[in-house]
Amino acid sequence: MLFNNPPLTPPLKKEADNRMAYVGRFAPSPTGPLHFGSLITTVASYCDAKAHHGQWIVRIEDTDIPRIYPNSEQHILQCLDAFEFESDVKIIYQKDRLDIYEAVIGQLKQKNLVYACECTRKILGSNHIYAGTCREKGLAFQDQAIRIKVSDSIICFTDHLQGQHCSNLQKDLGDFVLKRRDGIINYQLAVVVDDYLQGVTHVVRGADLLDNTERQIWLRQCLGYPQLQYLHLPLAMNDQGQKLSKQNLAQALDIQQAPQLLQQAISALGQLPVDLDQPHKMLAQASAQWDVQRIPKGTEIQGIFK
């Protein structure tokens, strides 16, 4: 291990108790409208939670305020309503929780687990592995990026679908940013803190986030948070061989076609067919029949989607 310091005592009161053996979540970013790939993740996270008699919660991950797409938060809520997904707790918005993330950064500062970094993209160039240039400079934190120190050790986890996945963060990535120079809280920090505070136990999300997991495991270790269970889903691809995403201009979900699209998403996940009906009845049937072993193996779903 890199540090001799004991792990941080979680500084904040949890917003959910630990009596639930399973708490899952769907946590979209409002950087564009939800698309069919988003629906696949929503269905899988919901059905996996309900199949385990657990809670399913919704969180809007909107810390990257400059990238918020106009009206996309409203579209997310409209889609959830049209497809009849219901969060078991009140929906939270990360942009309303910046003081919480700052408090956690303060705790990390006290333990000397983070440092200020003045490196710009121009200085870093094309090198995606941070060399620790500012680690020993002792720069003031004001108006600088904040990085967390990582160790030269291998972190592994076993994904329920993708199998074992490992990374040496120091060699594969280097110390990574928790807060940008412009004050934006990084996704890695916000997601770890909120998963802990909301009592999340299981994360079901797309395979495009697989490589984030070791960073989040490391951060959870530094904060003294319990580790989670992970299931990374194969991705729906477009006719260009690209994952469906907002950046690749995937079509927004048509809420007028909610039952039909829901049926298609359940099928894309390899699950047993459900009757075309009201969405909440379809979701109940899909949850009752849910079988992770039927989800297509690998990181891509065969077929072309829009």
Q: How far apart are CA 27 and CA 23, in angstroms?
A: 13
CA distances (Å), origin 298, targets 17, 45, 108, 160, 242: 34, 18, 36, 12, 15
Q: Is the pLDDT of residue 6 over 60?
A: no
pLDDT at 26: 98
Residues of the binding site for ATP = 246
In contact, 290 and 48? CB cutoff 8 Å: yes
Query: In this predicted structure, what is the pLDDT of residue 123?
Result: 79
Asked if residue 198 lies in contact with residue 225, where contact means CB atoms within 8 angstroms, the answer is no
Rounded CA separation 91/200 (Å): 14
Residue 305 lies in a domain: no
Task: Give the model's pLDDT for residue 18.
Answer: 57
Q: Give the DSSP letter string of 252-289.
A: PP-GGGHHHHHHHHHHHTTPPP--SS-HHHHHHHHHHH
Binding site members for L-glutamate = 25-29, 61, 187, 205
Q: What is the pLDDT of residue 4?
A: 40
Q: Which residues are annotated as a binding site for Zn(2+)?
A: 117, 119, 130, 134
Q: How far apart are CA 105 and CA 148, in angstroms?
A: 10
170 assigned to some structural domain: yes
**Structural domain count, the chain:** 1
Tell me the mean pLDDT in the region 290-299.
Answer: 94
12 pLDDT tier (thresholds 50, 70, 90): low
User: In CATH, what number is assigned to the domain containing residue 66?
Assistant: 3.40.50.620
Flag whether 306 is in a domain.
no
Residue 81 lies in a domain: yes
- Residue 194 confidence (pLDDT): 97
In the predicted structure, residue 5 carries a pLDDT above the cut 50: no
What residues are designated binding site? 25-29, 61, 117, 119, 130, 134, 187, 205, 246
Examine residue 1 and state whether it is found in any structural domain, yes or no: no
Residue 6 counted as domain residue: no
Where are the extended beta strands (E) located within 19-113?
23-26, 55-60, 92-93
Residues in Cβ contact with 122 at an 8 Å cutoff, skipping those fewer than 6 apart: none
Could you tell me if residue 302 is inside a domain?
Answer: no
Residue 251 Cα distances to 32, 220, 299, 305, angstroms: 10, 35, 21, 10
Q: Are 148 and 222 in contact (CB under 8 A)?
A: yes
DSSP designation for 11: -
Determine the structural domain holding residue 65 and report its residue range: 23-294
Give the model's pLDDT for residue 238.
Answer: 77
Q: Is residue 5 part of a domain?
A: no
